[in-house]
């Protein structure tokens, strides 16, 4: 069964942020796990640096019958990266302008490694 017409809008998912999904069934869930999407019973799902993003996106688009797009967010402050940022950049303009940008970056990186 397909849902009709009004599914044309894109679903945008931010990386490194928890998001919830409707019940999608065990198969979809296991596909998401194979794509290394993080799952937590309390918070939901999360795209992390471990995630096989193209795979996760294709699983989600198929399951939701909707175009899904990954929205990247700033590595330092988690701000959603907008149109102003170059595609592929991982730090927002605000953070890039900060003098302590590099220090923040390494600090953030260190905490990520600690949490592995």
Can you tell me which of 95, 101, 110, 116 binds Zn ion, judged by CB under 5 A? 95
Identify which of residues 57 and 76 has a Cβ nearer to Zn ion in the complex. 76
Count interface residues toward Zn ion (CB under 5 A). 6
Alpha-carbon span 87 to 21, nearest angstrom: 26
Distance between alpha carbon 46 and the CA centroid of its chain, in Å? 6
Beta bridge partners of 68: 11
- Say how many CA atoms lie within 13 Å of 70 toward its Cβ: 24
- To Zn ion, the closest distance from the beta carbon of 89 in angstroms equals 10
Can you tell me which of 77, 103, 107, 110 binds Zn ion, judged by CB under 5 A? 77
Q: Any contact of residue 81 with Zn ion (CB under 5 A)?
A: no
The residue range among 35-43, 48-56, 73-81, 104-112 that interacts with Zn ion, by the rule CB under 5 A, is: 73-81
CB distance 73 to 80 below 8 Å: yes
Identify which of residues 35 and 92 has a Cβ nearer to Zn ion in the complex. 92
- Going by C-alpha positions, the residue among 76, 78, 111 that lies closest to residue 97 is 76
User: Which residue in this structure is represented by tokens 């949490």?
Assistant: 115
The residue range among 17-25, 34-42, 46-54, 93-101 that interacts with Zn ion, by the rule CB under 5 A, is: 93-101
Q: Which stretches of the chain bind Zn ion, using CB under 5 A?
A: 74, 76-77, 79, 92, 95
């Amino acid at each position: 069964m397909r849902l009709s017409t009004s599914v044309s809008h894109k679903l945008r998912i931010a990386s490194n942020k928890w998001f919830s999904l409707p019940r999608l069934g065990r198969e979809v869930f296991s596909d998401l796990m194979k794509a290394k999407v993080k799952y937590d019973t309390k918070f939901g799902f999360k795209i992390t640096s471990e995630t096989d993003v193209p795979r996760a996106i294709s699983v989600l688009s198929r399951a939701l019958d909707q175009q899904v797009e990954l929205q990247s967010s700033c590595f330092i402050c988690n701000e959603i990266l907008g149109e102003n940022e170059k595609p592929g950049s991982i730090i927002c303009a605000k953070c890039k302008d900060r003098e302590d940008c590099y220090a923040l970056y390494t600090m953030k990186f260190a905490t990520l490694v600690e949490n592995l």
